[in-house]
Amino acid sequence: MSAMKKVMAGVDIGGTNTAFGLVDSEGNVYEKNSILTKNYPDVNEFVAALSGAIKELAGTGTGYELAGIGIGAPNARYYRGTIELAPNLPWKGVVPLAEMIGRQTGVPVTITNDANAAAVGEMVFGAAREMKNFIVLTLGTGLGSGIVIDCGLVYGHTAFAGELGHTTIVHGGRECGCGKKGCLETYASASGIVRTVLYLLSEMNADSPLRNMAPSAITSKIIAEAAAGGDPVAVKAMSHTVEALGMGIINAIVFSSPEAVFLFGGLAKAGDMLFNPVREYVDENIMPVFRGTVSILPSGISEDNAATLGAAALAWNDFER
């Protein structure tokens, strides 16, 4: 009989769904499952359900050797193993999740926010394997960022470092979910581009198929398709978004001099229509000493398992390397 395959569990906790899978040191995902986060308003019940489901996965077939668990979750605080004051999760206050799950499963548990997990995923399994300095930007409902400098993820004094989405790019600008105004993510994210379209529809007279849609039905994907078809409102929204994102990237580059910036998530699916003008914008507007030093690239990890792989990569990185 051969030895059991050694795996880490990668867990991605979102407001609606918690997805998890077993991942080996090469980044192969063997088993996966999910539970509904919102069904567990009591965190103790959530911990019991998740721990039970992970143990069940590890017992599939002839079984796996579960060596640890990595978790990506909003408002996760790496140093303390906690989730703190997460607005989109059902549990209030400070939740010592790593310790709670460790007690139930008997294996070490590490936790960080989803964008940091994506950066570790890129470093361990993705396109940044040979890189020492890079940044991952996740362009979803918000703009998350994971920053790697000299091979290490930047956590900072509080473990909340790398909130590029909440750097100010417009003084007194759009209201942000964080309570501030003019944050990068209110312009350069999947929801930011929708806000830009709604604004432009009120400013422009041009015919646009977006005009006949309910505001809540407009998505970044629909906008990207409309822009590809030449719709003037969508084209302009795309160019405003490119400028905002480009400005955010330039600020990040002059701060940490990465070799690459990876764009990931809903808005990044616009592909060349986003990447090419962002590259041009950065090249034209950045301080000359940095010109031509940074590649702006799509993620090397496929979207399907990205969050699970990122979280598992965190565990491999913390417990085995």
Question: Which residues make up the interface to Zn ion (CB under 5 A)?
Answer: 166, 176, 178, 180, 183
Q: How far is the CB of 112 from Zn ion (least distance, A)?
A: 19
Q: How far is the CB of 178 from Zn ion (least distance, A)?
A: 3
Binning the chain into helix, strand and coil, the percentages to the nearest 5 are: 45, 20, 35
Q: How far is the CB of 168 from Zn ion (least distance, A)?
A: 8
For Zn ion, the closer of residues 109 and 245 by Cβ is 245
For Zn ion, the closer of residues 166 and 236 by Cβ is 166
For Zn ion, the closer of residues 176 and 282 by Cβ is 176
For Zn ion, the closer of residues 84 and 259 by Cβ is 84
Helices (H) and strands (E) in the chain, counts: 8, 13
HSE of 112, CA atoms in CB hemisphere, 13 A: 35
For Zn ion, the closer of residues 108 and 182 by Cβ is 182
- 321: Cβ–Cβ under 8 A, 6 or more apart, which residues? none
Cα dist. 37→6, 20, 34, 86 in Å?
27, 12, 9, 13
CA–CA distance, 178 with 11 (Å, rounded to integer) = 25
CA–CA distance, 140 with 303 (Å, rounded to integer) = 12
For Zn ion, the closer of residues 173 and 277 by Cβ is 173
Instruction: Using alpha carbons only, give the angle 320, 135, 8 rounded to the nearest 5 degrees.
Output: 25
CA–CA distance, 91 with 282 (Å, rounded to integer) = 40
Q: How far is the CB of 180 from Zn ion (least distance, A)?
A: 5
For Zn ion, the closer of residues 10 and 165 by Cβ is 165
Amino acid type, 219: T
CA–CA distance, 169 with 72 (Å, rounded to integer) = 27
Q: How far is the CB of 177 from Zn ion (least distance, A)?
A: 6
Q: How far is the CB of 186 from Zn ion (least distance, A)?
A: 7
Q: How far is the CB of 256 from Zn ion (least distance, A)?
A: 20
